Amino acid sequence: MTTDSIQVALVTGKNAVTLEEFPAPQPGKGKAVVDIAYCGICGTDLHAFLSGEPYNPSICGHEWVGSVAAMSSSDNSHNIREGDRVAIGVATACGNCPSCQRGDASHCETVFAGATGMHPNSAPHGGFAPSISFALDRLYTVAPSLSDTQAAILEPVTVAVHAVRRTGIRLGESVVVIGGGPIGLLTLQAAKAAGAGHLTLIEPEPLRRQLGESLGANLLIDPRTENSAEVINAALGQAGADVVFECAGIAATIQTSVDLVRRGGKVSLVGVPNGASEIYGAVWLIKEVNLTSSIAYLNEDFEIAQGLVVDGRIQTETLHTKTVGLRGMQEAFVELANKPAQVKILVDPRID
């Protein structure tokens, strides 16, 4: 490897993470070079690793924080400066795409293309790298009070904030979260911050249930040994919760989320399931379910998410269970797949 190149970890196939050489990132117009401090391993990355399905290389490694090492001198219209600590976000709505033109800026196609790595300006690789050249309009400055490890988990906090905001949850409503992975545990906290009343977490792994309890869950259910509907209905004194978030990303729990909500309640699909789900349409109809699905986030969600972490209403440190270097990633993926006691593994490209 020369100094003109960097080593980047990519998910290259089923159960395969490999280090590949890329040209050292350059600060082109509208882009900054960011030296990565930490990049979190997301469920999406794990899905790519386990499925072997081809993923856009800029998607794996989309939860990072770092500092601006270089930018083009002509780029002085942005708020970002060299040396700033920054995290990955999305641009503001473009105003020009068909969605923006019909007045639906929250579904801006340019923003979504950026968030999914499909924008022509996307980086050639993700944040499992010592540095990355990244669109300036997708960076935001990290609050000084946050540690780098807290800041590396801001992106998944924003996913949770977006999902909760889309439900229109009301003060005091009872909430069930299915799945105690990082997104479930963050959604639980975001729902609480939004005013949720009674909070239930359904999660088979004991360590994750304990985390849920420490983060505010009132009722913990092990779906392997307990009947979730019976336990929830007994606790609430009514048939079904007001709001159910599906954060497990399992095909079967799509129907479970409707089974656990009250008639007229809200269901939010947050986890991305593999393959098709079997649903009972009559149950959905009879319950007059208000369904929202949620993917990624909007520019405004990042500021809200960071504010909630800064003031302590959303805890991220407790989710951070391990740190590895780029060479430790293969093992980290295997561990995440087999030991659900791991919650959020951060990759530090500065260590070997």
Closer to Zn ion at the Cβ: 93 or 305? 93
**Total number of residues binding Zn ion (CB under 5 A)?**
8
Task: Give the DSSP letter string of 235-299.
Answer: HHTSSSEEEEEE-S--TTHHHHHHHTEEEEEEEEE-S--SS-----HHHHHHHT-EEEE--S--H
Contact in structure between 43 and 183 (CB atoms under 8 Å): yes
Compare residues 96 and 227 and give the one whose CB is closer to Zn ion.
Answer: 96
Q: Which of 15, 52, 48, 36 is nearest to 117 (CA)?
A: 48
CB of 130 to Zn ion, least distance (A): 21
Contact at 8 Å (CB) between 311 and 335? no
**Of 106 and 210, CB closest to Zn ion:** 106
Quick one: which segment of 16-24, 82-90, 110-118, 226-234 binds Zn ion (CB under 5 A)? 110-118
* Choices 107-115, 231-239, 284-292, 326-334; region in contact with Zn ion by CB under 5 A: 107-115
- Out of 87, 90, 100, 332, the residue judged to bind Zn ion by CB under 5 A: 100
Distance of CA 114 to the CA centre of its chain: 15
Shortest distance, position 319 Cβ to Zn ion, whole Å:
13
CB of 235 to Zn ion, least distance (A): 31
| Cα separation, 56 vs 320, whole angstroms | 26
294 binds Zn ion (CB under 5 A): no
For the CB of residue 336, give the shortest distance to Zn ion in the complex, in Å. 13
Looking at beta carbons only, is 94 or 231 nearer to Zn ion?
94
Q: Count other C-beta atoms under 10 Å from residue 280's C-beta.
A: 11
**How many angstroms separate the CA atoms of 217 and 219, rounded?**
6
Contact with Zn ion (CB under 5 A) among 11, 32, 42, 163? 42
Q: Which is nearer to Zn ion, 100 or 151 (CB)?
A: 100
Q: Toward Zn ion, which CB reaches closer, 44 or 292?
A: 44
Interaction of residue 110 with Zn ion, rule CB under 5 A:
yes
Quote the least distance from Cβ 264 to Zn ion, whole Å: 32
Q: What crossing angle do the helices spanning 154-167 and 182-193 adopt, rounded to 10°?
A: 50
Does the protein bind Zn ion through residue 108 (CB under 5 A)?
A: yes
Residue among 187 and 200 whose Cβ is closer to Zn ion:
187
Residues 58-97 that bind Zn ion (CB under 5 A): 93-94, 97
Q: How far is the CB of 25 from Zn ion (least distance, A)?
A: 21
Q: Which residues touch 12 (CB under 8 Å, ≥6 apart)? A: 18, 20
The radius of gyration of the chain's CA atoms, rounded to the nearest angstrom, is 20
CB 47 within 8 A of CB 59: no
Task: Name which of 179 and 197 has its Cβ closer to Zn ion.
Answer: 179
The CB-of-222 to Zn ion minimum distance in angstroms stands at 26
Kindly state the DSSP code that residue 4 receives in the 8-state scheme. Answer: T
| Cα–Cα dist 70/25, whole Å | 10
End-to-end CA distance of the chain: 15
Stretch that binds Zn ion, among 15-23, 109-117, 194-202, 259-267 (CB under 5 A): 109-117
270 binds Zn ion (CB under 5 A): no
Binding positions for Zn ion, rule: CB under 5 A = 42, 44, 93-94, 97, 100, 108, 110
